[in-house]
């Protein structure tokens, strides 16, 4: 599942480039790390927003992972998203196969233990159980929901298949965890600090990871029992699908009619509450998990210097302690500060007390309310053919730095309100202008008059870099009339 917007990691994470597509913990994006930790798998079903489809496709291509990418025309939360994948599995004759449901934006440090626990969950899922993975808590966390396991001996799953003992080694020590799969008594909302501490004191409580394993038919069976409206809408949406490259588009109108609901509320919680039901089980997982839900959470998992700082980018820090300082494009300096989050991007700067960082969503809401663009996209914008960076913007002009990947081609298009001047910095451009097609090389330029049909292509083996100067009465991205596009954009 890769449809989240990651607003709590603003200003780095934005609607058009959310955190699952960013390399927060390594050179790989979080999506690529999620795929990598699975090992060799034949196929992945990825579910994401329509507007992030090219990001997802490119990252899966780089990861060399065969996949189908289901595009949600509107976000409807996790219960419908999982239903699409389950219905697809049933339609392919895989109803009794296990689905491993993962979020694309989690960090798991101990991948070996993760894979071991996943393997131990499969017999339970094949037997018909809906398995959830509960994170062994390390502290009284108020930002997560909890799973309360039924720990009594009478209710333990004690058969040979169900009694799952886990062993692993960490830092040279062999540690037998001796933990089993337990029936789930209830899913608990995010607690206050005192309640969270009581959960740790009592035992039997785990952080809700949002990861699951179950057979496709079993999920749809329970969804139909508790939320037939969601199942019906998703089935109708899957009746009329279209495929385009790796993309699978569902019926937009049918899916838009689907209720917005999480898998916890739609299936897991009512199933746990059903009389006589023990179909939901929790398998404890202790593998260095984090959902990286805030900058403070990222500070927790990253390596720190002797003063407790996480430094990323061009940063000079003096007298700075217990802080996270990131610069993506320029020098950032700090002096005599403590417990701060500082994140600098080309168009927005965040400075926050680490203890208040969960409130960044209030800033994001205010930016949206003011009609500003800084929560929607970065100054640097990715496209299927490459990217562009808006270097300068005035009342009747805009300057962009454009990068076109080898072999890529922008759409054949025209504009009603602007003219463009292209100056090639490096590489070779093949330009179509009206009835002409010609090459433009380094230090050469060409002019595209207002209303002229034109196209830009990189025929070379290296990236094409050029400067585009736009001039006119309106410079918005919606002043593009596409006449032909190899990426299927309208």
The tens digit of pLDDT for each residue in 424-482 reads 999 999 999 999 999 999 999 999 999 999 999 999 999 999 999 999 999 988 899 99
We report the CATH number of the domain holding residue 444 as 2.60.120.10
Q: What percentage of the chain exceeds 70 in pLDDT?
A: 94
Query: d(Cα 58, Cα 40) in Å, to the nearest integer?
Result: 19
Confidence class for position 154, pLDDT limits 50, 70, 90: very low
Q: Residue 410: which residues within 8 A CB-CB, separation 6 or more?
A: 385, 404, 455, 456, 457
Of 204, 197, 209, the C-alpha closest to 179 is 204
Q: Are residues 274 and 303 in the same domain?
A: no
Q: What is the tally of structural domains in the chain?
A: 3
Q: Are residues 223 and 350 in the same domain?
A: no
Please say if the pLDDT value at position 134 is more than 90. yes
Alpha carbon separation from 369 to 19, 329, 348, 411, 473 (Å, rounded): 22, 27, 16, 33, 26
User: Would the pTM count as exceeding 0.75?
Assistant: yes
Residue finishing a domain among 308, 342, 369: 369
Structure confidence at residue 406 (pLDDT): 96
Domain limits at 151? 7-290
Q: Are residues 265 and 398 in the same domain?
A: no
Per-residue model confidence as pLDDT tens digits over 41-71: 888 999 999 888 889 998 998 998 889 999 9
In a domain, 2, yes or no: no
Q: Are residues 43 and 156 in the same domain?
A: yes
Structure confidence at residue 489 (pLDDT): 77
| Strands, E assignment, 295-417 | 310-312, 315-318, 324-327, 332-335, 340-345, 348-353, 380-383, 386-393, 397-404, 412-414
Q: CA torsion, points 190, 194, 197, 203, in degrees to nearest 10?
A: -70
Q: Are residues 63 and 209 in the same domain?
A: yes
- Average pLDDT for the chain: 90
Please say if the pLDDT value at position 275 is more than 70. no
Confidence class for position 125, pLDDT limits 50, 70, 90: very high
Residue finishing a domain among 273, 290, 307: 290
In a domain, 219, yes or no: yes
């Amino acid at each position: 599942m890769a449809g989240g917007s990651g607003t709590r990691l603003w200003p780095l994470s934005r609607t058009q480039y959310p955190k699952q597509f960013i390399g927060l913990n390594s050179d790989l994006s979080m999506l690529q790390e999620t795929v990598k930790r699975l090992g060799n798998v034949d196929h992945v079903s990825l579910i994401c927003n329509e507007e992030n489809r090219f990001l997802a496709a490119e990252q899966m291509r780089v990861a060399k992972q065969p996949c189908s990418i289901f595009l949600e025309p509107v976000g409807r939360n996790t219960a419908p998203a999982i239903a699409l994948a389950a219905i697809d599995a049933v339609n392919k004759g895989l109803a009794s196969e296990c689905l491993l449901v993962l979020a694309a934006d989690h960090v798991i440090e101990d991948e070996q233990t993760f894979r071991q626990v996943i393997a131990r969950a499969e017999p339970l899922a094949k037997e018909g159980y809906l398995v959830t993975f509960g994170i062994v808590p390390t502290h009284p966390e108020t930002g997560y929901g909890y799973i309360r396991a039924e720990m009594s001996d009478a209710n333990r799953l004690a058969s040979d298949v169900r009694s799952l003992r886990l062993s692993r080694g960490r830092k040279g020590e062999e540690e037998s965890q001796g933990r089993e799969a337990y029936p789930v008594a209830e899913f608990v909302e995010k607690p206050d600090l005192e309640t969270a501490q009581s959960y740790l004191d009592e035992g039997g409580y785990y952080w809700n990871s949002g990861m699951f394993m179950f057979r496709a038919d079993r999920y749809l069976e329970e969804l139909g029992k508790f939320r037939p409206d969601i199942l019906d809408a998703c089935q109708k949406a899957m009746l009329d699908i279209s495929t385009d490259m790796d993309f699978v588009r569902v019926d937009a109108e049918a899916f838009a009619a689907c209720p917005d609901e999480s898998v916890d509320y739609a299936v897991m919680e009512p199933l746990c509450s059903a009389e006589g039901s023990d179909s939901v089980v929790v398998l404890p997982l202790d593998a260095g998990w984090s959902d990286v839900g805030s900058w403070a959470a990222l500070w927790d998992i990253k390596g720190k210097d002797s003063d407790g700082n996480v430094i990323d980018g061009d940063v000079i820090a003096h007298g700075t302690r217990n802080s996270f300082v990131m610069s993506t494009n320029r020098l950032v300096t700090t002096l005599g500060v403590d417990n701060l989050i500082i994140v600098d991007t080309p168009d927005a700067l965040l400075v926050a007390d680490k203890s208040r960082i969960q409130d960044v969503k209030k800033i994001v809401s205010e930016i949206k309310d003011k009609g500003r663009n800084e929560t929607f996209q970065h100054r640097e914008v990715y496209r299927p053919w490459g990217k562009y960076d808006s270097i300068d913007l005035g009342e009747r002009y805009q300057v962009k730095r454009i990068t076109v990947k080898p072999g890529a081609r922008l759409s054949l298009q025209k504009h009603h309100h602007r003219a463009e001047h292209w100056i090639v910095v490096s590489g070779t451009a093949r330009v179509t202008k009206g009835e002409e097609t010609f090459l433009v090389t380094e230090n050469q330029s060409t002019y595209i008059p207002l209303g002229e049909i034109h196209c830009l292509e990189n025929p070379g083996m290296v990236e094409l870099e050029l400067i585009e100067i736009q001039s006119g009465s309106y410079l918005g991205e919606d002043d593009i009339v596409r006449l032909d596009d190899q990426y299927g954009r309208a």
